[in-house]
Each structure stands twice: as C-alpha cells, then as structure tokens.
Amino acid sequence: MVRNIICYNAFQHMKIIKNQIEHLIGEALRQEFPDKVGSEIPIDYPTEAIHGDYACPIALKLGGNPRENAQKLLAAIQKPDWLEKIEIAGPGFLNFYLAPQFLNDFLREIIQAGEHFGESDVFAGKTVVTDSSHPNVAKPMGIHHILSTIIGNSLNRIFAAAGYKVVRDNYLGDWGTQFGKLIYAYREWGDEAAVKKDPIPELLKLYVKFHDEAEKDPSLEDRGRAEFKKLEEGDAENRELWQWVVDLSKAEFEKIWRRLDVEFDVIHGESFYEDKMQPIIEEGIAKGVFVEGERGALIAPLQDESMPPAIIRKADGATLYATRDLARIKYWEDTWHPDVMVNVVDVAQELYFRQLVEVAQMLGITDARNEHVQFGRMSFPEKKMSTRKGNIILLEEVIDEAVERARAIVEEKNPNLSDAQKTAVAEAVGIGALKYAVLSQNRTTNVTFTWDKVLALDGNSAPYLQYAHARASSILRKAEEEDAGFADTGAGQLQEAASLNLARLLPKFPEVVARAAEFFAPNYIATYLFDVARAFSAFYAEVPVLQAEEPERTARLNLVKATKIVLANGLGLLGGVQAPEEM
C-alpha cells in the first residue's frame, strides 16, 4: 500500500480535485507498474452520475488484461476520506466517487472563498499577453471586432482566474496607407463640425467617397500614397490630422468598451511599432530569413511550401501589416517575456497568422507559444446590415435592442420592481444575453443570432442562468429575514439525490475554469453553468428548503448559497455578465 500523503485539509490549498486523483493513480502506478511511470494519466468527467465524478481509463493502456491491471491499481490506492468509493467498471475503467461528507464540507469552503471561488494556481508563474478587439480607426467595429472584443474580454478574466499574469493589449488598426487616403479626402471634402459631431460615420463616408472618386480618377491613389508617405516622414500637419482622427475614433470605441465592461492594460496600435520595424528588418536580412524577391520586394520564404512567402517590405520601401506584427511580437517578448501570446482574431486571418508565426520562429524572436484564437462567423438574419459592405452592423443598435427586449421580459416577469431597478436589470440581462450568446458557442462554429434563442428564459442562455441566480438570492433573502442570528452548527447533511447531484458539480468549478484557460474555450464554463442551473432547478423543485426542519434546512441553505456563488462567479468570467439579485 502506498501511503496516502494527501490529508483531507489539504483541499483548502489544492482546489483541483482532478490533480489529486491523478496523484493517487500516479502513486499506484509507481508501485504496480514502475516501467509505466510518467505515462499520461487521462481523467474524464463521466456524463452520468452513476459512473462517478471522475473516471480514468489508464488500465486499458498498460498492456495485458485491462481488468486485472485495474484491480492491481485499485488495490494499491489507499482511498482517502474524501472519496466515497473507487470502482472498476466496464472493460477496466476506474471510477471515483466523491464522498457526501466531503461535498457537504466543501460547501463551506465555497462560501468562505466567496467571490474568489473558481480561482486556482494552475498557471501560476506564467504570463500571457493578449490582443483583442483591435478595431480599425475611422471605421465602425465590424462583427468580427465585436466577437474578438467579447471573447478576448472573457479569456482575459479566465486566464487571471487560472493563475496567469495577464497583460491585456489591443492592437488597434491605426496605421497604413488608408490614412493617407483619409487625409487627402478630409482636406478635399471634409467638414470639421460634421466629423466632430458623429466621427466614425463621417470618416467612413470620406473613405468611401475617396474610393468612388478614385475609380473615376486613378491618380487619387498616388495622392493618397503621397500623403501617407508624408505622414510616415513626420509631416507636422498630417501628424496632427491623423492624431485627431485616432483620438476621435478611440473615444467612440471607449464608449463601447465601457458599456461591455471591457478593459485594457495597454493599447499599442500598429502605429506604435512604426519605429520598431527597421531593427527587425535588419535582423531578418542578417539571419538570411528575409531575401529579395521578384521585383525588389523583401520577402520571407517559408519552410512549409504550401504557404506563399510573407512579404515584409514592398519594392517602394513601404512596410506592411505583417512587418508591424513581427515588431509587435518582438516588443511583447522583450517587454513581458510571456509564456503565451494570444491573438483573438477572425478565422479569415488564419493563413496570415500561420505565416506570421513561422516567420517569427525562423527569426527566433520568441519562445512563447503563439496562439491564434480564432472564431467562426456570426450572422444576424433579423438585422438589416447598415452599410453596403454588408459585414458591419452597428453594435450600439444591437445592444439597444437587446436591452429593450430584456426590459419587456422584466416588465412581464416582475412588474413590481421600481422603474430604476427595471432599467438596471434590463441592461444586465440584455448585455449579458449578447455576451453569453457569443461565449456559449464552440468558438469555431458559425452562429446564427436570433433573439428568441438569445433571450430564452428556459434554454442555455444568460437570462436562464441569471434567473436561477435571482431565485437563489430570493431564497437566501427570505431565510435571512426569518432566522436572524441563527448559527450554522454543521450538523445538517445533504442526503437526497437531487441535493447531492447539485453539490457534486460545485467543487469542479475551479477545474472547469482552468480547462477553459487551457483550451481558450469560454464555452466550457457556459456548459458547466447550464448544468449547475439545471441541477439547481431540479433540486429546488424536489427538495424543500425554507420549509425544511433544522438541521437539514441549514445544509440546504448552504447549498443554495454555494450555488449562487458559482453562478455569479461563472457569469463574471464570461466577460462580466452581471448576476442581478432580483429579476
């Protein structure tokens, strides 16, 4: 028998139960299969509670008879108190069942941890730098920018909860030849007052006008380029005009970020890297990574020949999007030495990011894992697209509509709330529903956005989770009124299946969060919260709480409290979805 080195109380500091199970199996492996030490110990979450809380198929992978292997391992594991039992199932799975006593006790840990429950140190000591939102100056945010903003914001919160040090950057599109065109167009046709009044639509109009005119008179293209060249060379007037446009646009973007509760630590747009490209170009040439291509451009041929070479500098000396991105990678490395670099960007840039990462590797500018966190398309069949480009919807309009529709639900569900409360709840529900609709999907699938689904009170939606939270809050409010001064003696135990089914989900929250961080997948949290909310409904339908006798009443109230904490914290990690006390 191996000595069981994990004492019960250690759970206070080691919140990831899965790791404890892994450790138990690892010890047994060392004893019974010494030559297999170091092999991966896969641990799954069985979908049916009858198969336990954790299942491990390792016995199937050791060679020989799997059931015999499982028996050997089982005999070598000294079952800790926090496990009720370990069983062998099917061809040789080891199933682990958490003990009811442990589940009961754990509720108090959740309550004590409060808003910190869900945090862990799985990625402690590691740094991640992220780039998300990154709209283009002088243009409205497109759908892909909205998705990037919402997904990036959630990932930033999830990374921090899983222990990462997070640097939240935003690679604003504020540089490139288009600014030369805009400068030209503004001088030719612009109206200062109109731009000040409604900056982005006015600037977009100028940009569109430039293109229309350039179709008639192609010499405009050269004039636009000339203005950009002046801008690059530091021409004072062009600089001033450009800065004005950047500031106006940023102020508009800020409004959206604030409304969505999105923050950044730094906003280093493309222009920030203007003076950081030359050193990279020289480094690339010196290392033989950049070579002269046809017609005088500087290119980086890639090892993977299915990809076209990356263009680093055009024949006329102009740098490109990729040149700036390489400078960004180097700057991130030199400034923060991150373990992981994350760019939350539309799937349309997949090839581009593959090229970029390969060039960065050839240059050897970073050891960090570079992750292009991409997402699928979202379509809004119920919404008329606002510009002729077709891929732009005005986020403000979608948010306003979400809030308006949420308000109607609140009016119907809870007409007795004050007007101010209704407004606050509608804002929380409307914006929450929007965020959740994005985050609850597998990132890479295409999503059709329909109001019925997004605002459903009975489906996998933010309002459903918020409603469960509000119900838990209302139970706790009533209890508080009834038993002021009542102290928890710890004598009550959860025994009913519906209570235990809910209780057994709750300790897994920190590991779900860590998994979401590992796989860049906020939807893991959404799926989990939906399970919690459903288990809570079943519990509440079957088991009396306020009407129960002591000491069970207190045990059940603790379950409600812990559930409320998990729902609120989980929604918070989904990009700050609010959890109102009443709905």
Residue ranges that bind ligand ARG, judged by CB under 6 A: 131, 134, 136, 171, 173, 325, 343, 345
DSSP string, 477-532: HHHHHHTTT----S-----SHHHHHHHTTGGGHHHHHHHHHHTT-HHHHHHHHHHH
Q: Which residue's CB is nearer to ligand ARG, number 95 or number 136?
A: 136
Q: Do 104 and 555 form a contact (C-beta atoms < 8 A)?
A: yes
Amino acid, single-letter form, for residue 537: S
Could you tell me the smallest distance in angstroms from the CB atom of residue 345 to ligand ARG?
A: 4
Nearest position to ligand ARG, beta carbon: 173
Q: Which residue's CB is nearer to ligand ARG, number 373 or number 505?
A: 373
Partners of 95 in the beta sheet? Answer: 55, 87
Tell me, rounded to whole angstroms, the distance of Cα 302 from its chain centroid. 31
Cβ-Cβ contacts under 8 Å for 420 (sequence gap 6 or more): none
Could you tell me the smallest distance in angstroms from the CB atom of residue 272 to ligand ARG?
A: 12
Could you tell me the smallest distance in angstroms from the CB atom of residue 142 to ligand ARG?
A: 7
Q: d(Cα 580, Cα 470) in Å, to the nearest integer? A: 6
Kind of pairing, strands 93-98 and 54-56?
antiparallel
Q: Which residue's CB is nearer to ligand ARG, number 118 or number 269?
A: 269
Partners of 292 in the beta sheet? Answer: 298
Could you tell me the smallest distance in angstroms from the CB atom of residue 343 to ligand ARG?
A: 5
Which pair of tokens denotes residue 51? 């198969």
Element housing 313 (H / E): strand 310-313
Q: d(Cα 249, Cα 170) in Å, to the nearest integer? A: 14
- Identify the residue whose tokens are 């540089």: 175
DSSP string, 365-386: ---SEEEEE----EE-TTS--S
Could you tell me the smallest distance in angstroms from the CB atom of residue 146 to ligand ARG?
A: 11
Q: Do 93 and 541 form a contact (C-beta atoms < 8 A)?
A: no
Amino acid, single-letter form, for residue 553: R
Q: Which residue's CB is nearer to ligand ARG, number 119 or number 325?
A: 325
Could you tell me the smallest distance in angstroms from the CB atom of residue 248 to ligand ARG?
A: 17
Q: Do 462 and 453 form a contact (C-beta atoms < 8 A)?
A: no
State residue 484 phi and psi, 5-degree precision: -55, 130
Could you tell me the smallest distance in angstroms from the CB atom of residue 282 to ligand ARG?
A: 22
Edge-to-edge strands, sheet with 310-313: 291-292, 298-300, 310-313
Q: Which residue's CB is nearer to ligand ARG, number 120 or number 154?
A: 154
Nearest to 438 by CA among 490, 467, 398, 475: 398
Q: d(Cα 286, Cα 298) in Å, to the nearest integer? A: 13
Q: Which residue's CB is nearer to ligand ARG, number 136 or number 558?
A: 136
Q: d(Cα 581, Cα 560) in Å, to the nearest integer? A: 13
Q: Which residue's CB is nearer to ligand ARG, number 344 or number 579?
A: 344
Q: d(Cα 509, Cα 517) in Å, to the nearest integer? A: 13
Could you tell me the smallest distance in angstroms from the CB atom of residue 525 to ligand ARG?
A: 24
Q: Do 540 and 471 form a contact (C-beta atoms < 8 A)?
A: yes
Could you tell me the smallest distance in angstroms from the CB atom of residue 436 to ligand ARG?
A: 24
Buried b (16+ CB within 10 A) or exposed e, 89-119: eeebbbbbbbbbebbbebbeebeebeeebbb
Could you tell me the smallest distance in angstroms from the CB atom of residue 486 to ligand ARG?
A: 55
Could you tell me the smallest distance in angstroms from the CB atom of residue 387 to ligand ARG?
A: 15
Q: Which residue's CB is nearer to ligand ARG, number 83 or number 262?
A: 262
Could you tell me the smallest distance in angstroms from the CB atom of residue 540 to ligand ARG?
A: 45
Q: d(Cα 441, Cα 376) in Å, to the nearest integer? A: 10
Q: Which residue's CB is nearer to ligand ARG, number 134 or number 561?
A: 134
Could you tell me the smallest distance in angstroms from the CB atom of residue 520 to ligand ARG?
A: 15
> How many contiguous H segments (helices) and E segments (strands) does the chain have?
20, 12
Q: Which residue's CB is nearer to ligand ARG, number 342 or number 512?
A: 342
Edge-to-edge strands, sheet with 340-344: 165-169, 127-131, 340-344, 369-373
Query: In sequence order, which ranges of 114-177 are alpha helices (DSSP H)?
Result: 143-161
Could you tell me the smallest distance in angstroms from the CB atom of residue 173 to ligand ARG?
A: 3
Helix or strand or coil: residue 345?
A: coil
